[in-house]
Structure 1
Amino acid sequence: MAYIVTGPTAGIGRRTALELAKRDTVILVGRDPAKLDDVRKTIERDGGRAVPIVCDLSDLASVRRAAAEIIGLGLPLTGLLNNAGIMQMHPTTNTLGWDLTFATDHLGPFALTEALTPHLTDGAQVVFICSSCEDPERRPAVIAGFRGGRYLSAEASARGDWAPGGSKLPGRDAYATAKQCNLATVLVFAREQPRLRFNAVEPGFNPATDLGRDSNVFLRAVAKYVLSPLAPFIKYWSNPRTAARVITRVLTDTSGGTGVYYDENGRPFQGSELVHQPEFSERVVAETRALLARVPV
């Protein structure tokens, strides 16, 4: 059996990959071959097995190649963790002209999931890492400068166009909107595919992840060495080790729950009112499929 983890070279993804490796083979999906190899060696030193797959989630061709490689391994695929994500301070685009945050955080994981779901074993668990910053009523997110998802359409989001009234901080609208689309995807896929289980996890505010990799060196050091150790003692906060335990528990759960959103403590949690409206979530999925279908294979 094997679990697939995207973004496994740092932060929450790395910790979760190490946790899962205590149970079964882990397929490590990430951009940097050297960092992937480092995680593989760490897992193998502890007696586990890991298979690295190089993939840039912002590049649809790379996603398609990675999915084919994973399928070609011939392993029983028992779980998929869509963890990889970025939040750029200064937005950039990929080779297709798509907003890099939206492409990496929503379009790539969506395409990877659609390619792999026919090959997942019955009852397999698919988990998306989401964020409460998609909810305009979520007070901690508002305090942090977010104003919820600003979705107009999948095509508009790919262009970097957002509903008016969002954050004045570059990149935050893209991140919040991508996370809202992640959650919409979970809710729709859970209804569409009863053979599998689709759930989401809000891992809490994790100051030690690579999400803020665009920040300066001083701020990253403070986050990692000062804030992260204190995080589990602060409401709504967490750190990669604690988050990995919650995610592993959800990913390996066999109770059959699907379409559930879990908070940083592993308790069922509600997202924004908008994302729970079937017409909205189904539109997100339909428009995402249509956008991805226009990219030649």
Structure 2
Amino acid sequence: MADRAFIVTGPTAGIGYRTALEVARHGEVVLVGRNAAKLDDVRAAVGREGGTAVPVVCDLADPTSVQRAAAEILALDLPIAGLLNNAGVSPTRATTNRLGWDTTFATNHLGPFALTEALAPHLPDGANVVFICSAVEDPGRRFATMAGFRGGRYISAEASARGEWEPGGSALPGGDAYATSKQCNLATVLAFARETPRLRFNGIEPGFCPGSDLGRDAPAVLRAVMKYVVSPIAPLLPYCSNPRTAARMITAVLTDESSGTGMYYDENGRPMTGSALVRDPDFDARVVAETRALLAAVAS
């Protein structure tokens, strides 16, 4: 058994894949994702580089699947030192899960929230819990607004699950759903850091990463250009990165044994601030309370 183990969600492509390979240098990796065949491919890739990994199938958009996966992870009885909530989607059209919840909000916020809540009581003191966030949640972030986002449009957890957002948002298809889910990620990080000081909760904005799997709905030609032309030079551009570079920075935060918590890091690993809304502890607490109530209602 490795001295340490780390959980990585969404490890089958993009940032998650590169991070799983990086993290495997520091301990065993628990690979959490929807596709069993792809998880086996990642496990094999980790093995070829001398690491060890174990796959756990989970659909983060489904609360029942999340609870089942959490129980399976705990049953492995591994020395978990960190949890990376990386899995995310950004579809350009609204879809729903079996409960009728908006898929983007369920996958990006509700699933990671539920997984963290299920695992946190069993994590040792000092364990790292990292959420991949995004500056598009901030309506004051110039690069995000230039890209067409208008910040998170949170009304309530129930409204978000229904795919309802505060008026006046983005014209980008799926833009409000993605920005709001990421705003809730960051609010969760900051609220959990205050609630549970024995663990370390931090958020990371990995930068705009052309070539990551978030653009899977884009036309094939555009995806190819982003992956093979733009991605290699992206780390040289402001606010940008690529999966390999982002993975190294994320791994550094996930494996850090310092006492930092409640931090939000940019694509270069430097501290940054989120929107004015998430800097309000009352807003963060409301997001957490409403999310807990929504998930509890389903569980009951």
Question: Which residue of 1 is the match for residue 107 of structure 2?
Answer: 104
1:263 aligns with 2:269: no
Question: Which residue of 1 is the match for residue 56 of structure 2?
Answer: 53
Task: Give per-residue Cα distances to partners, 1:109-162, cap 9 Å, x unaligned.
Answer: 000000000111110000000000000000010011100000000000000000
Amino acid corresponding to residue 91 of structure 2 in structure 1: Q
1:229 aligns with 2:245: no
Residues 208 and 240 of structure 2 are in contact (CA less than 8 Å); yes or no, is this contact kept in structure 1? yes
Question: Which residue of 1 is the match for residue 79 of structure 2?
Answer: 76
Residue number among 159, 182, 193 corresponding to 2:196 in the alignment: 193
Give unmatched runs, 5+ long, in structure 1.
none
Residues 26 and 255 of structure 2 are in contact (CA less than 8 Å); yes or no, is this contact kept in structure 1? no
1:28 aligns with 2:48: no
Quote how far apart the aligned CAs of 1:200 are.
0.4
Amino acid corresponding to residue 216 of structure 1 in structure 2: P
Quote how far apart the aligned CAs of 1:230 are.
1.3
Task: Give per-residue Cα distances to partners, 1:200-242, cap 9 Å, x unaligned.
Answer: 0000000111101111111111110111011011000000011
Task: Calculate the TM-score normalised by the size of structure 2.
Answer: 0.98
**Whole-Å separation in 2 of the counterparts to 1:220 and 1:46:** 28
**Whole-Å separation in 2 of the counterparts to 1:153 and 1:276:** 17
1:166 aligns with 2:180: no
**Whole-Å separation in 2 of the counterparts to 1:253 and 1:180:** 24
- Indicate the RMSD between aligned Cα atoms, in angstroms: 0.7
Quote how far apart the aligned CAs of 1:76 are.
1.2
Residue number among 148, 151, 154 corresponding to 1:151 in the alignment: 154
Amino acid corresponding to residue 37 of structure 1 in structure 2: D
**Aligned 1:198-277 pairs, distance under 5 A:** 198-277=201-280
Question: Which residue of 2 is the match for residue 181 of structure 1?
Answer: 184
Residue number among 290, 294, 297 corresponding to 1:294 in the alignment: 297
More moved, 177-186 vs 39-48: 39-48
Partner SS state of residue 19, structure 1: helix
Partner SS state of residue 53, structure 1: strand
Partner SS state of residue 78, structure 1: strand
1:118 aligns with 2:121: yes
Amino acid corresponding to residue 296 of structure 2 in structure 1: A
**Whole-Å separation in 2 of the counterparts to 1:74 and 1:296:** 25
Quote how far apart the aligned CAs of 1:296 are.
2.8
**Whole-Å separation in 1 of the counterparts to 2:147 and 2:103:** 21
Partner SS state of residue 56, structure 2: strand
Question: Which residue of 2 is the match for residue 282 of structure 1?
Answer: 285
Corresponding residue pairs, total: 297
Task: Calculate the TM-score normalised by the size of structure 1.
Answer: 0.99
**Whole-Å separation in 1 of the counterparts to 2:243 and 2:109:** 21
**Whole-Å separation in 1 of the counterparts to 2:104 and 2:222:** 21
Amino acid corresponding to residue 251 of structure 1 in structure 2: L
**Whole-Å separation in 2 of the counterparts to 1:75 and 1:30:** 18
Partner SS state of residue 189, structure 1: helix
**Whole-Å separation in 2 of the counterparts to 1:259 and 1:48:** 30
**Whole-Å separation in 1 of the counterparts to 2:171 and 2:26:** 44
Partner SS state of residue 31, structure 2: strand
**Whole-Å separation in 2 of the counterparts to 1:107 and 1:159:** 13
Quote how far apart the aligned CAs of 1:168 are.
1.4
Quote how far apart the aligned CAs of 1:170 are.
2.0
Residues 85 and 112 of structure 2 are in contact (CA less than 8 Å); yes or no, is this contact kept in structure 1? yes
